[in-house]
Structures are given as structure tokens and as C-alpha cells.
Amino acid sequence: MPQRKYTKTMPEKHRAFKRIVLPIALETYQSLVEHPEAFRHWLDEQIAKYPQLFPEGIEQGYTLHDQRKSKKMPEVTLRRIKLKARNAQGREMVFTIVPSGITPYMTGKTDEVEKALFLRRFGVPYWGLAYVFGRDEQYWYRLVNQIGRLEVVATTVQAPERLPKHLLADEKHVWLNGEKAYLATTVGEECVLGCSVALSADETALTEAYGVFQKEAQHLDPDYQPKTVNTDGWSATQKAWKALFPLIVVIECFLHAFLKIRQRVRKRFGDIYPELVKQVWHVYHAPQASVFRERAKALQGWAQQRLSGSALEAVQKLVSKTDRFVLAYAHPGAYRTSNMLDRHMLPMARWLTNAQYFHGHRSSAEWQVRAWCLLHNFLPYSPRARASQDFISPAHRLNGFVYHENWLHNLLISSSHAAALC
């Protein structure tokens, strides 16, 4: 079989959205559009309350520019504003003020599509959405693609200081048109902040795939530099992160090392396996680096007396990585296992299985998985989840606030003035 030609994961250019989405009922917005003074008064209140939703230069003032109607929704009138400040090229900047009740590209009303998008996060197929909610499959497919064009980082993280300093990264094995591919996934602070398609698992492909997260994070904060990233032992993953963030500390996942031991010990040495589990996690729970080293050395001595062959090799390999594991003690907030990332990859895996992975163009696969990330970040927690007692969604937990009580309204408002992938 001929080798696939490596193509770029995403277009190089980002196109800034010329829309500012604000939390206001559609009916109220329509009444304000017809009264310029009332509209300006309301907009000034929004600028004071949510400055992060507005573009740089809004503080220098603006003028009411004009009104616009869409052929898709002729009953809705939108007002545009023009900033008094100009951009770096000296051009005028005009933005459309949009109520959160309207979906991107004027494709529908938020309240009419939010339940369908809620189900899409769980992998309900497009024909199923069309059967229950009307329209056709292509309508729902295009609507999801439009959400996938939004920047995942800038939409999820509402302030540069909220960008996580400690991350987790791993690749999810998938299929694209019947051929193997990988989703380079980045997680931090309970949110999926990046997920991009890589056609191979070598350093070059993974660097470009994880680079989508880097570009989006540094678009929000040009000086962004995470402190640590937790990965498995795959060297290409670690090299990719070092290439993107030279100062980052790579911390290997202790859980992956334990799983190798479990795989080789449980059947062959079943009688001593429970004791081995206690010994391994006793090492992990060491309160400081020096104690970790002592316990790891003791584990090795214990294993040499009771194990042999590949089982002993697995324990010795864990012990040989002691210097990598103890790096976490110098970074108290770092992730020592991939548990948090696995909790997000589990529903992603179900969604991928229901969709039978990806069929079609690579860019559509990219938009689909990015849309899943955003739906996942903003979707409400299950009422039975402990986190739901304090937070509505993972994005609420990360940012500490929400703009709107409805999750899809909150997602669209959060995307205000974010860049879109061309």
C-alpha cells in the first residue's frame, strides 16, 4: 500500500470573527435595535460588565454603524458598530452585535437547536437528530462544523490568567477513511483544550497536531508557557511538546507504568499480585522525592525475590524511571497520572465508536472533533455528578462564572470575538 502523503492538519490562517455575542433575549434585542439611544445605553452596560467579550480598542469609543438583515432570517435585524480606533493596518473595524439566541452564520435559533446539539455530544447520529428535531442530516452536520471552526482555547478559557499551567496529553487511535490516524488531545483544568488529527504518530506529525493548541493558547496569551505536561512513555509525544514549549517539564504517567506491570503479572503471578499492587502504589503515595526513591528501591528488591521474566522486567522498568517520576514533586500542581485525560477520552471514545470514526475530508474530521470538544466543555454536568453541586459545566469550573444559565447560549457568548479557522 503506498504511503499517505502528509498534509497539514489545519489551515495556517485564522479569521477573526466580526461578531460580538451578548447575553440578551432575542425579543429584547429586537426592540432595542429600533431605538439607538436605548441600544447604546444597553451596549455601554455590557462593555462595562463584560469587557473580555469586546475587541481591543473598544475603550476608545464606537459609533452605531448600520443595521443588517439576513436572507436566512429576514425577521431578525442586527446592528453593527464601528470602533473609533483602527487596527494595526490602519483600517476601520466594524463588528456585528449579536444576541446569544442566534447561532453562527444565522443558521437558526439557539433555543431550537440546543437539545439536538446536547444529544450530538453523546454520539446520536445526524439522521437521528433529523428524525426527532426535523430539518435534514446536512443541516445538523453543517451546524456542528460551524461550531468546530471556533477556537477551542479562546472559547473555553475567558481570561489569559485562567490558562492551565499544568497539562495532560495523549493520542487517541482513530480511523480516517479506513486508515489509522491519531487525535492529539490536550487536557487541563477538567477541560479538553485541544484535539487535532495527525496522520501518523511520529514527531513531525504530532508537533503540528499539538501545535494547534499552542497557537490558540498563545493567541489568547502571547507569553503563555505551561510548566508541565503529563504524557505516556511515547518519545515522539514528549519531543513534540519540547519543540512547542522548550521550557516545559515532561512528567511521565505513573499509571501507564503500573498498567504494564499488571498486564504481565496478574495471570502468571496471581497469588502475589494483590501484594504487588500495594507495593507499587505505596511507592506512588510517597510524600516526597527522597521517600519515593527509597520505596522504589525497596520495590525492586522485593520484586527480584518473587518475580521473573517479563514481569520482573516491567517492575524494573518502572523503577528505572524514578528520576522522571520524581520531577512532579518540584511542581505541586502537576498531574502524575493520566486519570483526568482518561475521563475525557472515555466519552470521546463512545462518540467515535457511534460515528464509526471519520469518513470524508480530513478538515471535516478536524471540525467535527473540535466541535465535540466545545460541546463537551460546555455541556452541563450530570445531576448525579458531585461537581454539579457547585458548577454547571467544566467551562464554568475553569472560568469561575457563566454568562448565561443555558449551556449553548454560554458557549456562543464565550466565542465572542474569537478567531475562526478558515
One DSSP character per residue, 44-93 reads: HHHHHH-GGGS-TTGGG-EEEEEEEE-SS-TT-EEEEEEEEEE-TTS-EE
What one-letter code names the amino acid at 11?
Answer: P
Instruction: Please check whether residue 143 is in contact with residue 179, taking contact to mean a CB–CB distance below 8 angstroms.
Output: no
Distance CA 230, CA 246 (A): 15
Q: How many helices (H) and strands (E) does the chain have?
A: 17, 11
Count CB neighbours of 155 within 10 A: 24
Is 97 in contact with 107 (CB distance < 8 Å)?
no
CA distances from 180 to 31, 202, 359 (A): 53, 13, 12
Instruction: Give the C-alpha distances (Å, rounded to integers) separating 231 from 8, 42, 153.
Output: 24, 47, 20
CA angle at residue 214 from 335 to 329, to 5 degrees? 20
* Backbone φ and ψ of 54, nearest 5°: -110, 155
Phi first, then psi: what are they for 98, rounded to 5°?
-120, 135
Write out the three cell numbers for 38: 436605548
* pLDDT at 9 (0 to 100): 40
pTM for the model stands at: 0.91
d(Cα 174, Cα 377) in Å, to the nearest integer?
21
Which H/E stretch holds residue 334?
none
What HEC string does 346-382 produce? HHHHHHHHHCCCECCCHHHHHHHHHHHHHHHHHCCCC
CB 103 within 8 A of CB 143: yes
CA atoms 396, 99, 132, 145: torsion sign: negative
Cell 477541560 belongs to 191
Would you write out the chain's pLDDT as a tens digit for each of its 422 residues?
Answer: 333 333 334 444 555 668 999 999 999 999 999 999 999 999 999 999 999 999 989 999 999 999 998 888 999 999 999 999 998 888 999 999 999 999 988 999 999 999 999 999 999 999 999 999 999 999 999 999 999 999 999 999 999 999 999 999 999 999 999 999 999 999 999 999 999 999 999 999 999 999 999 999 999 999 999 999 999 989 999 999 999 999 999 999 999 999 999 999 988 888 899 999 999 999 999 999 999 999 999 999 999 999 999 999 999 999 999 999 999 999 999 999 999 999 999 999 999 999 889 998 999 999 999 999 999 999 999 999 999 999 999 999 999 999 999 999 999 999 986 665 54
Task: Give me the residues paired with residue 150 across strands.
Answer: 420
Is 167 in contact with 184 (CB distance < 8 Å)? no
| Inter-residue contact 139 to 126 (CB < 8 Å) | no
* Closest CA relative to residue 30, chosen from 64, 88, 65, 79: 79
Per-residue DSSP letter, 327? G
Reading the block at residue 262, the C-alpha cell is 499488571
pLDDT value of position 14: 52
Closest C-alpha among 53, 24, 56, 224 to residue 155: 53
Predicted confidence at residue 18, as pLDDT, reads 86
Cα–Cα nearest to 341, from 152, 153, 184 = 184
